[in-house]
A = this chain, B = another copy of it.
Amino acid sequence: MLLSYKEFLKNAKIILGSQSKGRQGLLNMVDLFKFEVFPSTFEENLDKQLDPLTYVQKTCEGKVINLLETFKQNNQQWDICIFADTVCEINGKIIEKPNTKEDAYNFLKLFSNSLHLVHTSVYVVGKNDKNQIFQLNGVETTEVHFQYLPEQSIQIYVEDESNWKGRAGGYAIQALGNMFIKKINGDYSNVIGLPLPVLDKLMSEIIELLIKKD
C-alpha cells in the first residue's frame, strides 16, 4: 500500500493528467502526496460503437500518449504521472458528459429508478533516474442504483449548470447528486472519477519498479 512509501512520495514529482475537480478533490482528501495538474489536450472523440471498457481504456491511453509527448517537447520534469478517464454505461450504451441542459435532463431520466455502470480507466506511468519508463493500467467498474426521480426534481436539478456540467452522466455523487443514489455496489471513489484502491495498487507497483536496484 502507498502508506508504506511516504518517504518516496515526499520527494517525487507527481503529475495528475486531468483537470477534473473531482479527481483533484480525491487526491487532496487522501493527502498522501503533493501533485501538479497538467491536463492532456487529447480530444475525447473515439467511436462510441466501441465496447465501453475498450472505449474508456483507449481514451485514457490517448491522454497518456498526448501528455507524455508534450512533456518530452517541453523537457518537463516528472517522476510519476496519473491519468484517468470515466464513462457511464446503461443498456450497453456509453454516456459521457452532457453538453447541454437537455442532455443532462435526458441522462437523469434514463438513470431514474434504474441501474447504470460507471467505468474508470487508470494509467500510472513512472520514470526512473535512468529515464526508463514503466506503465501500468487498471480499470474499475461500479454499479450505481438510482432511486425514482420525480420530473420536478430533475428539472430543478438541471436548472443549476454546476450540478451537471463536466460530470460524466450529468450528476456528481460527491454533491447534491448523492441524494439520487439508492445504493452503489463497488468502489465509491470510482464514481467520482478516480478509483483510489486501484490507484493505490498501481502506484505502489510503479514505485517498486522505480526504486528497484538491478
A residues touching B (Cβ–Cβ < 8 Å)? Answer: 1-4, 6, 26, 29-32, 142, 147, 149-150, 152-153, 156-157, 173-176, 178-189, 196-197, 200
Contact = CB atoms under 8 A, between A and B. Distances in A.
Contacts of A150: 1, 4
Given A174-B29, A197-B147, A3 B184 contact: no
B179 A197 contact: yes
A182 B187 contact: yes
Contacts of A147: 197
Copies of this protein in the complex: 2
Given A3-B179, A29-B176, A182-B197, 5 more contacts: A29-B174, A178-B188, A179-B200, A180-B197, A184-B187
A21 B173 CA distance: 19
A186 B184 contact: yes
A138 to B, nearest CB: 13
B176 A6 contact: no
A29 B156 contact: no
A185 to B, nearest CB: 5
Contacts of A182: 187, 197
A29 B173 contact: no
A60 B194 CA distance: 34
A179 B2 CA distance: 9
Contact of A176 (B31, B149, B179): B31
